[in-house]
C-alpha cells in the first residue's frame, strides 16, 4: 500500500536502526466496500430558528435544526453518513468528537479532507468500535461553526441495544453567546413523565464553544456511569454533588426513578433543565446549597487496564499550556500557546504505531483549557502529583485548570495525522492547537 509520509521532521528517528513500519492506506480509511448497516444524510444549511426562550437566531444547522438530529447506532455496525452542504459558503465537515474513527473519516478540514463547499457532498464510512455518548460537529473553522449551531448528539449503543425499559435522555446544552458574552438562550424547562422504578440514563453533553457548564441532579442519588463515553468501574452513589462539565466533555448519569420528582438544573438554577416526575409536573428548584464538585480522579473502583502508570512508555511528551500577549494575524492579541508556540508553529508530537505514549499536561496560564485529542482516548494517570486511584478514567477532552498538572497516557494505535487542541474553540483559533503525527 501507499505509505503515509514518515520521513519528515524526525532526523533522530530516521537514524535509528529499526526499520519504520509502513502504514497502510487501509488503516487510514473506513471500509470502502460493503452495504452500510445504518445510513444517515445530514444537510448543512442556514436557517433562522427560534430558541426555547422565544429569541430567534440566524443559525447554521444540520437538517434545519440545532442541535442536529441524534445519530444513534450499535457497536460494530458499519455506519455511512452523507454530508451535503446546501448553502454555507465557509464550507463544512463532520467530525465525530470522541469516536476514534480511521484518520480519513475524522472530518478535519485542512488535515484529513477539504471543507465541503456549497453544492458538494462527502460520504463518511466507519465501524463504531466504542459504546457511549459522543457528538458531532463541523471542523471547518470550528469556533464559528459550533457557535452557530453545526453540531448534534451521537450515541453508540451496545451490540444488544439498551435495556428495553431504560429511559434514555440526551441532554445537549449550548448557550448561544456572542464571542464570550452570554446573551443567549438559558431559559428552557422540559418536563418528562417517568414511572417510578424506571432506570434512567441522562447523557450530558456540553457543546458550548467556550464555557464550562454545571449540572445539578436533585431528588435522587445517582451515579456517574461514564465519562467521555467510557463506562466507569463500580461507580458509587452520589448525592448533593454538582457535575461540572467542560466544553466538549460528556457525563452519563444513571439513577432509578423514585416516586417523587427528580430535577436536573443546568447552570445556576431555576431556569434551564429537566423536571422528571411520575406525573410530568413540577418545578426546577432555584437554589442548591452545599454542593460538592464531582472529582472523577478518585471516583469508582480500580480495574485492569491495557496499561497503567507502571507501564514502560516508549515516548514521553510535555505539553505546557499558556497565554501571552503577542502578534496573531498581524494584530496584537492574547495568544494561547502550547510549549510557547501558536499554531501552526507548535511542534508536532511524533509517534509510531504500537507505541505507548505518556504526556504531561501543565497549565501555566490564567484560564482553564479543555484539551481534546482526536482519534485516541487518554487514560488519566495522575492529577497534581496524586495518582488517579478511582476507576480507570479515560478521556478525550480533559479539563486542565490553571496551575494543574495531569499525566495521561494513550496507545498509539490509530495511524494518521491528528489534532490535539483546546476545545474552548476561541483558544484553539488563537493558537492552542497542535498535531499528533504518526511517522
Ligand atoms: Cu470537537 Cu477538534 O474537535
Ligand atoms: Cu483553552
At 182-198, the pLDDT tens digits run: 334 455 778 999 999 99
Q: What integer pLDDT is reported at residue 21 of this predicted model?
A: 62
Beta carbons of 299 and 236 less than 8 angstroms apart = yes
Q: List, for residues 3-39, the tens digit of each pLDDT value.
A: 333 333 333 333 344 555 666 777 788 888 899 999 9
Q: DSSP per residue over 75-138, as a string?
A: TT-EEEEEEEESS-TT-B--EEET----GGGS--BTTTBPPBPTT-EEEEEEE----EEEEEE-
Burial class (CB in 10 A: 0-12, 13-18, 19+), 255: buried
Q: What integer pLDDT is reported at residue 187 of this predicted model?
A: 58
Query: Residue 179 pLDDT > 90, yes or no?
Result: no
Fold held by 167-294? Immunoglobulin-like (2.60.40)
Query: Residue 226 pLDDT > 60, yes or no?
Result: yes
CA geometry: angle at 295 spanning 293 and 300, to 5°? 130
Please give the CATH architecture assigned to the domain spanning 315-438. Answer: Sandwich (2.60)
Q: What integer pLDDT is reported at residue 273 of this predicted model?
A: 87
Strands 386-387 and 315-328: unpaired
Whole-number mean pLDDT of the chain?
Answer: 89
Q: Which atom of ligand 1 is nearest to the CA of 135?
A: 1
**C-alpha 343 – ligand 2 centre gap (Å):** 13
Measured distance CA(363)–CA(340) in Å, rounded: 12
CATH code linked to domain 38-157: 2.60.40.420
Helix (H, G, I), strand (E, B) or coil at 388: coil
Q: List, for residues 422-438, the tens digit of each pLDDT value.
A: 999 989 998 999 999 99
Measured distance CA(40)–CA(96) in Å, rounded: 14
Q: What integer pLDDT is reported at residue 213 of this predicted model?
A: 87
Enter the C-alpha cell of residue 165. Answer: 425499559
Could you tell me which residues are beta bridge partners of residue 213? 245
User: Minimum-distance ligand to the CA of 98?
Assistant: 1
User: Minimum-distance ligand to the CA of 397?
Assistant: 1
Kindly report the backbone phi and psi dihedral angles of residue 25, in degrees, each rounded to the nearest multiple of 5, phi listed first. Answer: -65, -30
Q: List, for residues 261-277, the tens digit of each pLDDT value.
A: 999 998 876 778 899 99
Q: Which atom of ligand 1 is nearest to the CA of 146?
A: 1
Helix (H, G, I), strand (E, B) or coil at 146: helix
Query: Residue 104 pLDDT > 90, yes or no?
Result: yes
Q: Is 421 in the pocket of ligand 1 (CB under 6 A)?
A: yes
Q: Is 250 in the pocket of ligand 1 (CB under 6 A)?
A: no
Q: What integer pLDDT is reported at residue 182 of this predicted model?
A: 37
Q: Cell 435522587 identifies what position?
A: 220
Measured distance CA(67)–CA(47) in Å, rounded: 12
**C-alpha 333 – ligand 2 centre gap (Å):** 15
Q: Which atom of ligand 1 is nearest to the CA of 248?
A: 1
Q: List, for residues 73-101, the tens digit of each pLDDT value.
A: 999 999 999 999 999 999 999 999 999 99
How would you label 419-434 residue by residue, b for 16+ Cβ within 10 Å and e otherwise? bbbbbbbbbbbbbbbb
Q: Is 248 in the pocket of ligand 1 (CB under 6 A)?
A: yes
Measured distance CA(359)–CA(19) in Å, rounded: 25
Q: What integer pLDDT is reported at residue 284 of this predicted model?
A: 87
Q: Which atom of ligand 1 is nearest to the CA of 137?
A: 1
Q: What integer pLDDT is reported at residue 10 of this predicted model?
A: 33
Question: pLDDT band for position 50 (50/70/90)?
Answer: confident
ipTM for this prediction: 0.98
Kindly report the backbone phi and psi dihedral angles of residue 257, in degrees, each rounded to the nearest multiple of 5, phi listed first. Answer: -65, 120
pTM above 0.90, yes or no: yes
Query: Residue 344 pLDDT > 70, yes or no?
Result: yes
Measured distance CA(152)–CA(40) in Å, rounded: 13
User: Minimum-distance ligand to the CA of 372?
Assistant: 1
Enumerate the CATH 2.60.40.420 domain ranges in the chain, comma separated: 38-157, 167-294, 315-438
How large is the average pLDDT for residues 353-370? 96
User: Minimum-distance ligand to the CA of 427?
Assistant: 2
| Residue whose CA is at the smallest distance from ligand 1 atom 3 | 97
Q: Which residues are near ligand 2, the ion (C-beta closer than 5 Å)?
A: 369, 422, 424, 427
| Residue whose CA is at the smallest distance from ligand 1 atom 1 | 97
Amino acid at each position: 500500500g501507499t505509505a503515509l509520509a514518515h520521513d519528515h521532521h524526525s532526523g533522530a528517528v530516521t537514524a535509528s536502526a529499526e526499520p519504520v513500519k509502513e502504514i497502510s492506506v487501509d488503516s487510514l480509511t473506513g471500509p470502502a466496500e460493503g452495504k452500510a448497516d445504518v445510513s444517515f444524510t445530514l444537510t448543512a444549511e442556514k436557517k433562522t430558528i427560534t430558541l426555547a426562550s422565544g429569541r430567534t437566531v440566524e443559525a447554521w444547522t444540520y437538517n434545519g435544526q440545532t442541535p442536529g438530529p441524534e445519530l444513534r447506532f450499535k457497536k460494530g455496525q458499519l455506519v455511512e453518513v452523507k454530508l451535503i452542504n446546501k448553502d454555507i459558503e465557509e464550507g463544512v465537515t463532520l467530525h465525530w468528537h470522541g469516536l476514534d474513527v480511521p484518520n480519513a473519516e475524522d472530518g478535519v478540514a485542512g488535515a484529513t479532507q477539504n471543507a465541503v463547499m456549497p453544492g458538494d457532498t462527502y460520504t463518511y464510512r466507519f465501524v463504531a468500535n466504542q459504546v457511549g455518548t459522543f457528538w458531532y460537529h463541523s471542523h471547518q473553522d470550528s469556533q464559528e461553526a459550533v457557535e452557530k449551531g453545526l453540531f448534534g448528539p451521537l450515541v453508540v449503543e451496545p451490540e444488544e441495544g439498551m435495556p428495553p425499559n431504560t429511559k434514555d435522555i440526551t441532554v445537549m446544552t449550548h448557550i448561544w453567546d456572542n464571542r464570550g458574552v452570554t446573551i443567549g438562550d438559558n431559559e428552557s424547562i422540559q418536563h418528562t413523565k417517568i414511572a417510578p422504578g424506571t432506570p434512567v440514563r441522562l447523557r450530558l453533553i456540553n457543546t458550548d464553544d467556550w464555557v464550562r457548564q454545571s449540572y445539578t441532579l436533585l431528588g435522587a442519588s445517582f451515579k456517574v456511569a461514564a465519562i467521555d463515553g467510557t463506562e466507569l468501574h463500580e461507580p458509587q452513589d452520589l448525592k448533593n454533588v454538582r457535575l461540572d462539565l467542560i466544553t466538549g466533555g460528556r457525563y452519563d448519569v444513571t439513577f432509578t426513578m423514585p416516586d417523587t420528582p427528580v430535577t436536573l438544573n443546568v447552570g445556576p438554577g431555576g431556569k434551564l433543565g429537566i423536571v422528571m416526575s411520575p406525573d410530568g409536573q413540577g418545578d426546577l428548584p432555584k437554589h442548591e446549597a452545599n454542593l460538592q464538585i464531582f472529582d472523577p480522579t478518585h471516583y469508582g473502583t480500580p480495574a485492569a487496564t491495557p496499561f497503567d502508570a507502571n507501564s514502560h512508555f516508549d515516548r514521553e511528551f510535555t505539553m505546557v499550556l499558556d497565554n501571552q500577549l503577542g502578534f496573531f494575524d498581524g494584530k496584537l492579541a492574547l495568544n494561547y500557546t502550547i510549549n510557547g508556540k501558536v499554531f501552526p508553529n507548535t511542534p508536532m508530537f511524533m509517534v509510531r504505531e504500537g507505541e505507548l505514549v505518556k504526556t504531561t499536561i501543565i497549565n501555566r496560564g490564567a484560564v482553564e483549557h479543555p484539551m481534546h485529542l482526536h482519534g485516541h482516548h487518554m487514560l488519566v494517570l495522575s492529577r497534581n502529583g496524586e495518582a488517579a486511584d478511582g476507576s480507570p478514567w479515560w478521556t478525550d477532552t480533559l479539563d486542565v485548570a490553571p496551575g494543574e498538572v495531569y499525566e495521561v497516557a494513550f496507545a498509539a494505535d490509530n495511524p494518521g495525522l491528528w489534532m490535539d487542541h483546546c476545545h474552548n474553540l476561541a483558544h484553539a483559533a488563537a493558537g492552542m492547537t497542535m498535531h499528533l503525527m504518526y511517522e
